[in-house]
A and B are shown apart, each in its own frame.
Chain A
Amino acid sequence: MSESVLEPAIEIAAVDFAYGPKMPTVLQGYSARVAKGSVFAILGPNGRGKTTLLKLLLGALKPLQGRIRVQGRLAFVPQLFQVSFPYRVLDMVLMGRARQIGLFSLPSKADEAAALDALDRLGLADLAERSFDELSGGQRQLIIFARALASGADILVLDEPTSALDLKNQGIVLEWIARLRDEGLTVLFTTHHPHHAHAVADDALLMFSQDDYACGPVDSVLTEVNLLRLYGISLRQVAFEHEGEELASLIPVYRGLRRTAEGL
């Protein structure tokens, strides 16, 4: 599923960005295409501008140069979701309907139905009456997915969806990303885990520096050479067989850290 075949959901064309006229450039000449119905991963070390790029996509920031075109409706799933007040889950999901609800109106029966339907689609209807702040981090993540569905969005933007979760929950979130893609949504996420991008994404953007990046199908961009450049440590592509299936993943290389027999 590579870019040229499908219509783009998001097109980033030669974008430059800095936080102010005298501030250092964060992004320079970034271009990328996110195909409709694909999963797109953004990778880069801390402070390289992943979150800035997301804010540009969401329209919270404006590029100095270049153009960002979004075809469809975006929904954003923040990294750590904390609420100031312990809203009910259903009320949280209803907030996804903000665009459909007039400035001076309350949610209608139709909005409520859409919210419940979104919860239902993710198998979360049982949680509707629970208080959002009683839920685990992973459950909250799913509720925010439901909120995005309820909003009628077709593009989901996730900021490090797995970073606050344990291994099992990371797996569940990846599973859900694939599931949402199967429902026809475009999913774009930032991550610190190249193996997550490798597992679920079609395309990836690697942010080497403010003006140097690689963007393309996961198999051609997530190479050992690129990842060494990106993170400054070696990662190896490994292929293995698991329950009769040929699989591949990426693992970081750590060497000479454990005490060896001679060292003892």
Chain B
Amino acid sequence: MTASTQTLSTDFTERPKPGDGGRLSRFPAFTRADLLILLLFVALLALMIFSLTLGRYPVPIPEIIKIVATTGFNETRPYTDKAWVVVEIVRMPRILGVTLCGIGLAMAGAAMQGVFRNPLVGPEVAGVSSGASFGGVLAIMLSWPMWGVVGLAFGFGMGALLIAFGLAKMAGKSSMLALILAGVIVGGFFGALTGMAQYVADPQTKLPSIIYWLLGSFVGLTYEKVAIVAGVTLFAGTLLLMLRWRINLLSLGEVDAQALGVNVEALRWGVVALVALLVAAQVAVSGGVGWIGLIIPHIARMLVGPEHSRLLPASALLGGIYLLAMDDIARSATAQEVPIGLLTALVGTPVFAFLFWKMQGKGWNRE
């Protein structure tokens, strides 16, 4: 059969030489991408340990490793053990929380770009961030405790998503474009509510903390907040990782994916809901930190290629590294801490502009 196949023409253009495109052998992309993902993992761990050393109180790396290795979360040491307090109580929760948020946001972005078949969208498109922001602001205005801020942000984030879903359904076909437009509407509405809240907030007591929270910051990240991010990120992130190969199919387009036996509707909404969970969890604990989900998947794509079963893990790790590095800068570059949301936007926008220029519009417009 093979012999007769050869006689048929396949030479639509010149016949490609084996190993064309700078690739070495048959499966090099697998091993190369796997290696890169492993390297990113090691880099993330190294950066986490390095980040534990950053701060006013100096703790040498061997001491840190000893504390991390020997102290369980249940064990409490006397608070006179300054190194232990600094590492385990002050720095550790923040580093864990920041890393988890970075992982969640970047993975959410990679998944969202696949589902929408467009590298221009971020995980915020469905209006979740705006809803969550308003929830947080409302809780601050009501002088609710920390868990109230987190809970309300989370609740309003998911509420915004449900409204956006509903609006998209109302528009008839539940197309992804309809969801983006619904996200704009919902985002605009909650943006206005947030503005209203700021307008009426007490400028002496409430307004500063509202503004600081909206700018985005990981200051005062406690183990309770980390538990929320960790729970949601582990749950939604694991499911998303398990679905990662299927996101390739969603990126093909509706009719084609359906013909390949994919339940497009269910899978699509499922992925979007998981993405919303990840985003809401992050906004709930740290306010508005943007641009991670938009730029990190692009950089990951340059490293491991566009195939989502490699792209999602690479994006996740890269997102953790990026956000942790940004937070390190935010808390140690200047005497007064810079809100990290400002930093990620200041860095994110020019990087995005550069990517935009580099891609020359390639693959940006395929609906």
Most buried by A among B246, B260, B262: B260
Q: Looking across the interface, which residue of chain B has its beta carbon closest to that of A132?
A: B306
CB-contact partner of B246 in A103, A136, A172, A183, under 8 A? A103
Q: How many residues of B contact A (CB 8 A)?
A: 50
B5: chain A residues at CB < 8 Å are 121-123, 179
Q: How far is the CB of A145 from chain B (nearest CB, A)?
A: 10
Contact B10 A85 (CB under 8 A): no
Contact A106 B259 (CB under 8 A): no
A55 CB within 8 Å of chain B: yes
Q: Which of A157-191 contact B (CB under 8 A)?
A: 157, 169, 172, 175-176, 179, 183
A46 CB within 8 Å of chain B: no
CB-contact partner of A106 in B2, B13, B18, B245, under 8 A? B245
Q: Which of A99-133 contact B (CB under 8 A)?
A: 99, 101, 103-107, 120-124, 126-131, 133
B243 CB within 8 Å of chain A: yes
Q: Besides the contacts A58-B259, A87-B248, A106-B309, what 7 more A-B pairs have beta carbons closer than 8 Å?
A: A85-B251, A87-B307, A98-B249, A129-B26, A129-B28, A139-B13, A175-B9
Q: How far is the CB of A129 from chain B (nearest CB, A)?
A: 5
Contact B366 A82 (CB under 8 A): yes
B21 CB within 8 Å of chain A: yes
B23 CB within 8 Å of chain A: yes
Q: Which of B326-367 contact A (CB under 8 A)?
A: 363, 366
Contact B23 A129 (CB under 8 A): yes
Bound: A106/B307 CA distance, A = 12
Bound: A128/B2 CA distance, A = 17
Bound: A88/B151 CA distance, A = 43
Q: Which of B56-92 contact A (CB under 8 A)?
A: none
- Whether A123 contacts B8 in the complex (CB less than 8 A), given A82-B366, A95-B248, comes out as yes
CB-contact partner of A98 in B6, B10, B261, under 8 A? B261
Contact A84 B260 (CB under 8 A): no
- Whether A86 contacts B255 in the complex (CB less than 8 A), given A124-B10, A130-B21, comes out as no
Q: How far is the CB of A77 from chain B (nearest CB, A)?
A: 9
Most buried by B among A78, A83, A86, A101: A83
Contact B260 A151 (CB under 8 A): yes
B253: chain A residues at CB < 8 Å are 78
**Residues of B that sit less than 8 Å from A by CB:** 1-2, 5-6, 8-10, 12-13, 15-21, 23, 26, 28-29, 114, 117-119, 242-246, 248-249, 251-262, 301, 305-307, 309, 363, 366
- Whether A139 contacts B255 in the complex (CB less than 8 A), given A120-B2, A123-B5, comes out as no
A44 CB within 8 Å of chain B: no
CB-contact partner of B20 in A58, A130, A139, A142, under 8 A? A130
Counting chain A residues whose Cβ lies within 8 A of the other chain, the interface size class is 35 or more
A76 CB within 8 Å of chain B: yes
CB-contact partner of B9 in A74, A127, A128, A172, under 8 A? A172
A-B contact count (CB 8 A): 124
Most buried by A among B19, B248, B249, B257: B248
B258: chain A residues at CB < 8 Å are 58-60
Contact B20 A84 (CB under 8 A): no
- Whether A169 contacts B12 in the complex (CB less than 8 A), given A95-B249, A99-B260, A121-B1, comes out as yes
Contact A126 B16 (CB under 8 A): yes
A107: chain B residues at CB < 8 Å are 245
A3 CB within 8 Å of chain B: no
A96 CB within 8 Å of chain B: yes
Q: How far is the CB of B177 from chain A (nearest CB, A)?
A: 14
Contact A138 B262 (CB under 8 A): no
A205 CB within 8 Å of chain B: no
Q: Looking across the interface, which residue of chain A has its beta carbon closest to that of B22?
A: A129
A134 CB within 8 Å of chain B: yes
Q: Looking across the interface, which residue of chain A has its beta carbon closest to that of B116?
A: A84
Bound: A128/B29 CA distance, A = 11
CB-contact partner of B306 in A86, A101, A120, A151, under 8 A? A86
